Structure 1
């Protein structure tokens, strides 16, 4: 049972990471504008971050967020703050300096 679960997880993660989507578009744009060397950290962030996020959810992070009162609310506000910060940096023309 566990081997089937791992195989399904790996196939799902590979399929999503190899299909065209917003990340591949960003990689292409970043590679054209900044070169391959400066785009590699972005590629590695997505390549390791997405499977890590899937594994965290699969291993019960959602149950933890539902069990601990207030934790989901804190995560929401932290996420909003990060998005506002990134939007501010992009609007200020300093997106390349983040």
Structure 2
């Protein structure tokens, strides 16, 4: 690794660590996934977050950032679309079932909940997969802020594709262990959340936190 590459890497790692480990849509979803499915089944989700973020940084550095700078309405449209999706995710979090209510069948994971009339109802649930997590980064407001901020602040204008690829690679490698902490934390909470009152409080807290994670984007509008 050249001196310039090493300097760039050392300068961006602290930023990536702070942005990756602090609460945001990805981490809150991984915490919930750790509670419901455990760490092992959440690994594709984690890999998709890191790979999807790295891909976004790569494409933004190769031209997408300039497109947003020329067309601010395009960036705002993506951000607002992402926030609408996060509102839907927050609503889904308030309805999540307890881990012990899930069982595995040949067709996937199914959560058995009580319907409005008290009769059992079946709702299909499964961990977010690799490609789903990759796609989610494109509607994740915090990921857009992180990617654009990283490139604007740390990558001088005129840098070639190699420098952009290095930034994307460093992001992916650094991000993965940071976000895994949240899935591990969720798994540690599984037994404690078997209590219905605790589960309900947890679900609503996660939903509220997800909504609060949109505040930085709203303040920058």
Calculate the TM-score normalised by the size of structure 2.
0.31
Separation of aligned partners in 2, 1:26 and 1:66:
30
Q: Which of the numbers 45, 50, 67 marks the counterpart of 1:47?
A: 50
Per-residue deviation, 1:12: 4.5
Which residue of the other structure, out of 93, 96, 120, is the alignment partner of 1:90?
93
Q: 2:153: which partner in 1?
A: none
How many residues in Structure 1 have an aligned counterpart in Structure 2? Answer: 94
Partner Cα separation in structure 1 for residue 76 and residue 42 of structure 2: 33
Give the one of 78, 83, 101 matched to 1:80.
83
Distance 1:69 1:24 in 2: 27
In structure 2, stretches of 5+ residues that fail to align are 98-110, 112-124, 129-221
Higher-RCO chain (CA-CA 8 Å, sequence separation at least 6) = 2
1:24-64 C-alpha deviation (Å, 9 max, x unpaired) = 89768745752344112212112201211221232232210
Structure 1 84/50 Cα, relative in aligned 2: closer, same or farther at 3 Å?
same
Computed over aligned residues only, the root mean square deviation of the Cα atoms, in angstroms, reads 4.0
When the two structures are superposed, what TM-score results if normalisation uses the length of structure 1?
0.59
Alignment of structure 1 residues 27-66 onto 2, 5 Å: 30-31=33-34, 33-66=36-69
Q: What residue in structure 2 maps to residue 21 of structure 1?
A: 21
The whole-number CA distance in structure 2 between the counterparts of 1:89 and 1:58 is: 34
Secondary structure at the residue paired with 2:96? Answer: coil
